[in-house]
Structure formats: structure tokens, C-alpha cells
Structure 1
Amino acid sequence: MTRDERGARVMLSRVVEPGDEVCGRWIREVGPVEAVRWLTGGGGQPRGMTDARWAGLRARAERADPDRDLDRARAAGVRYVCPGEAEWPAQLDDLGDGRPVGLWVRGPSSLRMWALRSVAVVGARACTEYGAHMAADLGAGLAERGWVVVSGGAYGVDGAAHRGALAAGGATVAVLACGVDRPYPSGHARLITRIAEQGLVVGELPPGAHPTPSRFVLRNRVIAALTRGTVVVEAAYRSGALVTARAARRLGRFTMGVPGPATSSLSAGVHELLRQEAVLVSDAAEVVELVGEIGELAPERRGPVLPRDLLAPGARCVLDALPARRVAPVDAIARAAATSTDEAIARLYELRALGFVERHGDGWKLTRQATAPVRDHREVR
């Protein structure tokens, strides 16, 4: 990357809106230096662009000052990473003409290296306690397993995911829809500063740039492209988190959702996503099983093993034949178990040795150990 090319891309980051595919195609075709020459009056007009839009871009170009932006970035500890450079995450190229012109990065680590093993955790800003708990738990669990947690730095699920990763001493990346020297939302200024110290803060927009609704939406494509998969924790039908998940799906990344109460509007979007295209996950181990390498498997899920589960089929059949609360004679037990009296007696003594039954004269009765689990309280007739 030559100095002229870098300067041109810095200027274009001030002029071109994130995700503008028309401008992206034009920059790809003529190169960033030539694109700047066109903007400053030395060339034609890109194909597919209206006169009004071209005039707007040229007006922005007149006010752009790449040297000032670079000076301001250096003062804030921010660097500019261009496509093709060593730190550039190659997976962002999957966005085609919608890829960023470049990225402003704040933090000490290598964005390319971190992105190789990263997962996005996104969701509702106005999340419930359940959503915040699940996001923090996922963030911490992924960090403990050596994965980088990527999110948008917003209130709610985003903030909880970042905090979970930080609390576990792990790595996290905040992708902002504004200049990375300008923490947004302002209520997360301390969190974003901490992320910049322990992780990375990334954005397409130059220093001092402010966020807009459209920039938030377009920021989500970077989160999706940067990571191996996206987990959605609580999202209504119109949530921006679903935009991230669907972008991940289009890019061939894994799409995952954490289920919630069927009666909650904040889970409605996640459930719709799960019905159509996503994989249900409930913890970090299940996320890693999906996005990780061969052999990174989640533990097998099963209910508790009860002592009676370990009995041989014949012994279990005799145990089930005993009434719940009274003494039963051997012949009644044998009849209920559909076996012989001798077999029933042999099984009863076996069950007594294991603590399941006790003898009362000529009859047999269940012990407290045997009646503790829920069972079918049928009587021997």
C-alpha cells in the first residue's frame, strides 16, 4: 500500500458512506487514487450514479482533509488498516463491492489474527434480565475457550456480551457505527475505553464521525463478515440483530439463536429465525461445536441417572410391580410382573440388597429410596 493509496482511502472513508456498492464498484474499477482524482475535478462521473448524488460526493470531497483525519487518529491511538495489508481480515472481502474502504482500529492487538477465531453475539438493546444473563454467559464462555467475542458496543445484549468476555479475561471487539475515537452510546464510554485497552474498537467512519440509523444497519454487515458465526440473544421482529444474522447467512457464516419464552416479544424474532434458518444454541460449548474445529464438541446432554435406571430389566419389572404404599404378597407381585414366584423371590432379594425393598413377614414393601423418584403409583391387585 503506497502513501498515495493510503491517503486516498482515508479521504474516501470521509466521502463514501459505508456499504455503498456503487461507489465500491467504482473504486474497485479505477482504484482509490483515481477515484479521488475524479472527486476533485479531474475525471468523469461513475456509471450508475445520479447527478445529484455525484454532486453530493464532490461537496463532501471538498471538505475532506485526510492529513487532519490521520493526525486526529494518531492523537487518539487509532490506526487505519487498508485492504491487502497484513492486518486486514481477508474475510471482509466476501462483502464484494460493499466491503469497507478501510477500517479505523483502536487497540493493541491484530484485527486479522483475532478475526480468525471470532463469534458475534448480538441482540436487543432493551433486553430482559434473562437476555443480559445469557449474553454475558456466552461472552464469558466463549472467551474462556479462546474465542474472540464481537459485538456492536450498544446497550443491552451487546454490552453484556462484551462485559462477559472482559470479566473472563478474554478478547472482545466492538464494531461502531461512528468514529472509534467517539464512544457511542455515551453511557458506554467507560466500557468502550476498556475494550480499547483490553481488546479492539473498530469502525469504517473517520475520527469524529457521528452515527445515524442507516449506519447502524450497515455496520452489522461488518460484524457478520468479520466472524465465523453470529449468535442472536433476544430480538424482536424488527431488530437490527436479525439484520446481522441474515447477513451472516448470506455470507455463508453460521447463524445461531438462543431461545426464550414463547410469550416474550423480545424472543419472537429469534424464534422466527430458528424456524427458518438458524441453529438453536444454549451455551458457549454448543456455539463452539458449530463454529470450531473438528473435535470441539459440546458435552452430551442428559437428565440425571437414577439408581433404578441401572437395574436389570427383570429386576426393574418386579420393582414396578410393587404397590406404592402397602405390603404385597409374593404371588401378587409375581402376577403383576408376569413372572414366576421363584423368579419374583430371587429378584426381591436382589432388590433388598440394593435397598429398594424390605420384607414384612410374608410380604414385601418399597423403601423410601424406591419411592423418592416420581413413579407410576399403580396397585397390585
Structure 2
Amino acid sequence: MPGSGAGDEERMARAALTRVIEPGDEHGGRWLRELGAGELMARLTSPEHREPALTGASARRLAGYRIRATGVEPDRDLAAVAAVGGRFVCPGDREWPTQLDDLGDARPIGLWVRGRSDLRKWALRSVAVVGARACTPYGAHMAACLGAGLAERGWVVVSGAAFGIDGSAHRGALAAGGATVAVLACGVDVVYPRGHAELIGRIAEQGLVIGELAPGDHPTPSRFILRNRVIAALTRGTVVVEAEYRSGSLATARSAQKLGRFTMGVPGPATSGLSAGVHALLRGEGVLVTDAAEVAELVGDIGDLAPDRRGPVLPRDLLDPLSARVLEALPARGAVAGAQVARGAGTTADEALGRLYELHSLGFVERHGDSWQLTQSAIRGSNARRGGT
């Protein structure tokens, strides 16, 4: 069992409730907060006339809860997760990530966890990388680079184990020998998608596989959307790599924004529909990032800075200011007298002459009689500095 926190009765009742209350159900979350897990299960499994009514839900919806509560076997579910090397983590346990409490009544009842590592400690320094399932090669490359780069910097990469961006982010982290967490929309003993059986197995072995659904439960479209709130709440920030306007990845980003987490996006081609949702995010509160260093700078601690970005250092960039002015005073074509160079540089003829000889020794200029002109290499360097051809 996980460390001290929830008692056996509380744990058993919460495990049972994961089969009764759907993820993100705020009606159930309010009852759970007001009554406690044991009392809520008692009311759902007792004849209606013997217990005080549960308020806030229609009679039809309440009947659905009662039908689900009939015949649940939490001890069997706990044994099933233990059989795959897992456990059930509850609020109050040492391993419970308290940032999930920010979800209020929509927080998970508990989390089913596979893997040997401590979820709470891993979540303290984690970043979500999410995006399109049908991604482009560019998107897959960027997600893998982000996963590897973040892992190399000691960050835990969190995603949803789906095809496309999710899988690429997980693989990037694993390839770098780093830590990664897969948040599933089904039971942690269920392989979904089937094509990621090997990947999910590797994550369970080297990282963590977590979910709100009891062992054996299957995914549904609504469960995928609701799963995204857990990814957003668990991490310090969410990076979106390729997403259309209507995308579950954007739902993760919106959840992150509501929770006050960092929201980031990797830009793509302006003509790509797969990047349209990311670009809309970046026009709002999202922050543009292009690599792991920029992500770490945003979500990390003071001093966790990305390197300065600049073009290549050209030889003329190393000149002192006066020598640079003298060099700029020379025309791109043809030779001019030293006195003309001095006027253009705003200095004396003697000072200009001294700098011209220095520039000659460095290969920037050449002398023709009493005149000076740029070398061909200096002309090419000048074009490169100005962005010319």
C-alpha cells in the first residue's frame, strides 16, 4: 500500500468510487468533499428511503450512480492493479501530487499508478508535451527533441501515450535515459492504443503509467478530454506541438491557463492547418518556444536561462568601434583616398591611415597606390552581415 495518509476504509471506498463516478464529475466531487468516501458509498448502496438524499443531481442521474455502485468490488480492483506492479494513490497519501487539488471538486478521486517511482516527487518538476495524433514529420521531430532535451535537463515529460506528438515526446525522453509519465484515459492495465503496446510497456518499466479509471476500464471520447485536465494540473506547464483549431491538445492548454500554469506552443508553417490551433494559442496568452532550453527557462527556477540566440560571429564583429567605422567608410566598389576615408569615418587622416594598415593586415582592405579598397572577402562578409546574397 502507498505511504501513510488515507486509511484502509477510505482507500477501499475511493477505489470503489472510481467505478461509480466519471472523471471530472463535479457533482460526485462535491459529495465526496462534503461526506467523505465511506459515507458517499454508503448512501449510494443503501435503499433510498434509509439515507438522506444526495442533492444537486437529477433522479435519473442519481439512479445511474446507484446502478454503478451495485456490485463494485474494490478489493478485486486493488488486487488487479497490484498484479501488474501498480497501486492506488489517494489524496492524503505521501505520494499524492497536491497540485491536483487545484482542480477543486473536479480533482481525481484517486489515481491508479503503475511503475516504481514516486509520482509526487516526479510531478514537482514536470512538463507536459502534447499535440496532434496525425502529426507531420516536423511535429514528430520537434516533440522528440523537446522530450529528449527536457529529460537531459532533469525534467519529467508528461503526455497521453497517444499516436503522433504524445508518442514522440515519450520516446524522446526514454531515448535520453530520462523520466516520462503517461496519463491514460483507461485502466492502467489496458493497452491503448494497441499499436503502442511496446511503448506503454517501456514507460511502465522505466517511468510511470497513471489514470483515474479502474483496472480494465475502456477509453471513451469524453474520457480523453477529461484526462487532459489531469495532465495540465499535474505539470508546471504545457507545450503544444501541432494542433488544429478543434483539438484535445488545446483543451489541455486551456486547462493549464485556467489553473495558472505556463502555456507554450511550438510554431509551424503559417499555411499548415495542423499548426493553426497552436498559432491561435500563441496569439493569446501562449508563449512561443522552439526548444527545451526555452521551455526550461520559462518553467524552471531563477538562473535556468536559455542561451542567447544570435547569428554566427563574423570577423568584422570583433573590430573595435573606430576600426569598424573606417571599414564602413570604404565603398563596396572601387578605391578611395585615405583622406576621403577619414572624412567618412569622422576621424583624422593619421588615425584613419593607422586603422587602414591594421585592417590591411587582417585581410579586410588592400592598397592601390595612395588609395584603399575592400578585399573580395570583406565584400562577401559585408553582404552576409547585411543579409545580402
Regarding TM over 0.5, the answer is: yes
Q: 1:15 aligns with which of 10, 13, 20?
A: 20
User: What is the CA–CA distance in structure 1 between the aligned matches of 2:345 and 2:234, rounded to whole Å?
Assistant: 62
Match of 1:115 in 2: 123
Match of 1:347 in 2: 355
Match of 1:39 in 2: 44
TM-score by length of 1: 0.95
- Unaligned segments of structure 2, at least 5 residues: 1-5
Does the 8 A contact of 1:192 with 1:201 survive in 2?
yes
Q: 1:278 aligns with which of 265, 281, 286?
A: 286
Match of 1:299 in 2: 307
Does the 8 A contact of 1:19 with 1:99 survive in 2?
yes
Moved more, 133-142 or 336-345: 336-345
How far the C-alpha of 1:237 sits from its partner, in A, is: 0.8
Match of 1:240 in 2: 248
Match of 1:125 in 2: 133
Q: 1:50 aligns with which of 37, 52, 58?
A: 58
How far the C-alpha of 1:137 sits from its partner, in A, is: 0.6
User: What is the CA–CA distance in structure 2 between the aligned matches of 1:376 and 1:127, rounded to whole Å?
Assistant: 35
Moved more, 1-10 or 338-347: 338-347
User: What is the CA–CA distance in structure 1 between the aligned matches of 2:110 and 2:12, rounded to whole Å?
Assistant: 11
In the superposition, relative to structure 1, how do residues 338 and 3 fare at CA in structure 2: closer, same or farther (>3 Å)?
Answer: closer
Counterparts of 1:142-291 in structure 2, within 5 Å, are: 142-291=150-299
Q: Secondary structure at the match of 1:79?
A: strand
Q: 1:64 aligns with which of 58, 72, 82?
A: 72
For residues 320-339 of structure 1, the C-alpha deviation after alignment (integer angstroms, 9 at most, x for no partner) is 23233433333444454455
Letter in 2 for 1:262: A
Moved more, 112-121 or 68-77: 68-77
Once the two structures are aligned, what percentage of the paired residues are identical? Answer: 69
Q: Secondary structure at the match of 2:113?
A: strand
Match of 1:370 in 2: 378
Q: Secondary structure at the match of 1:14?
A: coil
How far the C-alpha of 1:354 sits from its partner, in A, is: 1.9
In the superposition, relative to structure 1, how do residues 336 and 66 fare at CA in structure 2: closer, same or farther (>3 Å)?
Answer: same
Moved more, 329-338 or 115-124: 329-338
How far the C-alpha of 1:376 sits from its partner, in A, is: 9.8
For residues 173-216 of structure 1, the C-alpha deviation after alignment (integer angstroms, 9 at most, x for no partner) is 00000001001111111100000000000000001100011000
TM-score by length of 2: 0.93
Match of 1:322 in 2: 330
Letter in 2 for 1:369: S
In the superposition, relative to structure 1, how do residues 170 and 376 fare at CA in structure 2: closer, same or farther (>3 Å)?
Answer: closer
| CA RMSD, 1 decimal | 1.7
- Unaligned segments of structure 1, at least 5 residues: none
Greater than 6 Å deviation, 4+ residue runs: none
Q: Secondary structure at the match of 1:173?
A: strand
Moved more, 259-268 or 356-365: 356-365
User: What is the CA–CA distance in structure 1 between the aligned matches of 2:341 and 2:90, rounded to whole Å?
Assistant: 80
How far the C-alpha of 1:342 sits from its partner, in A, is: 3.5
For residues 55-106 of structure 1, the C-alpha deviation after alignment (integer angstroms, 9 at most, x for no partner) is 1111111142212212222222221111101111111111110000110000
User: What is the CA–CA distance in structure 2 between the aligned matches of 1:147 and 1:54, rounded to whole Å?
Assistant: 43
User: What is the CA–CA distance in structure 2 between the aligned matches of 1:118 and 1:127, rounded to whole Å?
Assistant: 23
User: What is the CA–CA distance in structure 2 between the aligned matches of 1:224 and 1:67, rounded to whole Å?
Assistant: 30
Does the 8 A contact of 1:179 with 1:210 survive in 2?
yes
For residues 23-77 of structure 1, the C-alpha deviation after alignment (integer angstroms, 9 at most, x for no partner) is 1000111111111111112524321100110111111111422122122222222
Moved more, 356-365 or 171-180: 356-365
> How many aligned residue pairs are there?
377
